[in-house]
């Protein structure tokens, strides 16, 4: 009876740029290992451009686990544990599922597998360090984003009224006209639904072409970017970009919004 192996490969955009190791290269190396070790490849499962922080949002991973529970193969082979998961919790839950399904697990580059006690112990140790690396990277990214905002540079790419040029925000005049109209109409009618309807009558739409709803109008009305400021993690910083709305109108709008009843969640 032949032994069947499921190959799992994954790259995120950052991984592929940094490591230069594509899905096809991972699959080719692991297929060669299967041939050399007497395994027939059952299927290659690949998730492209998806983070390794969890397994819930990876279609190929979910398909692999479903097939494992049905006894479709004997072993799962990955290029490295970081391709499989960077979460210690996910790792233990997933490996427990594989073990209960009588499916072994092997990492090619770390040279261990779960068919031995030492392999299982080493897997746990490597998993802890993989999660630590992910968390350290996340902290560095957040710190860098905060530093940019504190220096007055925007952390965002898409906001109606502006376009990003290098580190600066440049006003897009036809979009800025929409923003000014939303502020003017709210000051006049004091009603978010009315603002939404008036924008629709004029043919005004959001950054990506969607209709401006009452909820979206409120987001525009409460975004300090339009008075030259930047918001990051509930803190506000002075930006370097040109404002679209004057401070007096901004303050008037905030006072009106504070007095108005909250928009029900179901009507967003």
40: CATH = 3.40.50.1390
- Indicate whether 105 belongs to any domain: yes
Q: What is the mean pLDDT of the chain?
A: 80
Q: Structural domain tally of the chain?
A: 2
Whether 28 and 131 share a structural domain: yes
Q: What percent of the chain has pLDDT over 90?
A: 41
Whether 130 and 172 share a structural domain: no
154-192 per-position pLDDT tens digit: 555 568 988 887 778 889 999 999 999 999 999 999 999
Mean pLDDT of 103-129: 68
Of 122, 141, 160, which one is at a domain's C-terminal end? 141
Res 19 pLDDT > 70: no
Model confidence at 265, in pLDDT bands (50, 70, 90)? very low
pLDDT recorded at residue 125: 63
**Looking at 12, 22, 51, 101, which residue is catalytic?**
12
Give the domain range for residue 62: 3-141
pLDDT recorded at residue 139: 62
Res 119 pLDDT > 80: no
Whether 81 and 16 share a structural domain: yes
DSSP per-residue codes, 188-257: HH--HHHHHHHHHHHT-B-TTS-B--HHHHHHHHT-GGGGTEEEETTEEEE-SSPPSS-HHHHHHHHHHH
Whether 135 and 155 share a structural domain: no
Whether 187 and 75 share a structural domain: no
Residue bearing the bigger pLDDT, 110 or 60: 60
Of 141, 175, 202, which one is at a domain's C-terminal end? 141
DSSP per-residue codes, the chain: --EEEEEEEEE-HHHHHHH---HHHHHHHHHHHHHHTTEEEEEEEEEES--SS-STT-HHHHHHHHHHHTT--SEEEES-HHHH-S-HHHHHHHHHHHHHTT-EEEETTTTEETTSHHHHHHHHHHHHHHHHHHHHHHHHHHHHHHHHHHTT----S-BTTEEEETTEEEE-HHHHHHHHHHHHHHHHH--HHHHHHHHHHHT-B-TTS-B--HHHHHHHHT-GGGGTEEEETTEEEE-SSPPSS-HHHHHHHHHHHHHSPPPPGGG-
Res 149 pLDDT > 50: no
175: CATH = 3.90.1750.20
Whether 38 and 155 share a structural domain: no
35 among known catalytic residues:
no
Residue bearing the bigger pLDDT, 42 or 147: 42
Whether 10 and 121 share a structural domain: yes
Q: Give the span between the Cα atoms of 68 and 74, in whole angstroms.
A: 8
Let me know: does 160 contact 220? Beta carbons within 8 Å: yes
- Indicate whether 146 belongs to any domain: no
Of 78, 108, 141, which one is at a domain's C-terminal end? 141
188-218 per-position pLDDT tens digit: 999 999 999 999 999 999 888 889 999 999 9
Res 258 pLDDT > 50: yes
Residue bearing the bigger pLDDT, 255 or 266: 255
Whether 39 and 130 share a structural domain: yes
Mean pLDDT of 39-57: 82
Residue 107, token pair as written in the block: 């990492």
């Amino acid at each position: 009876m032949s032994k069947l192996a499921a190959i799992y490969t994954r790259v995120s955009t950052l991984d592929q740029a940094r490591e230069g190791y594509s899905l096809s290269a991972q699959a080719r190396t692991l297929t060669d290992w299967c041939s050399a070790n007497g395994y027939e490849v059952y299927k290659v499962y690949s998730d492209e451009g998806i983070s390794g922080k969890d397994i819930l949002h990876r279609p190929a991973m979910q398909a692999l686990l479903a097939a494992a529970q049905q006894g479709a193969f004997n072993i799962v082979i990955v290029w490295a544990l970081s391709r499989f998961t960077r979460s210690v919790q996910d790792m233990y839950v997933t490996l427990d599922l594989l073990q209960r399904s009588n499916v072994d697990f092997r990492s090619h580059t770390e040279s261990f597998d779960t068919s031995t006690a030492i392999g299982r112990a080493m897997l746990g140790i490597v998993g802890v360090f993989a999660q630590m690396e992910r968390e350290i990277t996340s902290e560095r990214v957040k710190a860098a984003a905060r530093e940019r905002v504190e220096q007055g540079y925007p952390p965002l790419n898409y906001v109606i009224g502006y376009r990003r040029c290098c580190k600066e925000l440049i006003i897009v005049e036809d979009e800025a006209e929409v923003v000014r109209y939303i502020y003017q109409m709210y000051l006049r009618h004091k009603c978010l639904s009315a603002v939404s309807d008036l924008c629709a009558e004029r043919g005004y739409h959001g950054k990506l072409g969607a209709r401006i709803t009452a909820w979206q109008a409120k987001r525009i009305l409460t975004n300090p970017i339009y008075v030259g400021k930047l918001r990051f993690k509930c803190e506000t910083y002075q930006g370097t970009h040109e404002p679209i709305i004057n401070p007096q109108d901004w303050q008037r709008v905030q006072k009106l919004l504070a007095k108005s009843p909250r928009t029900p969640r179901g009507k967003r």
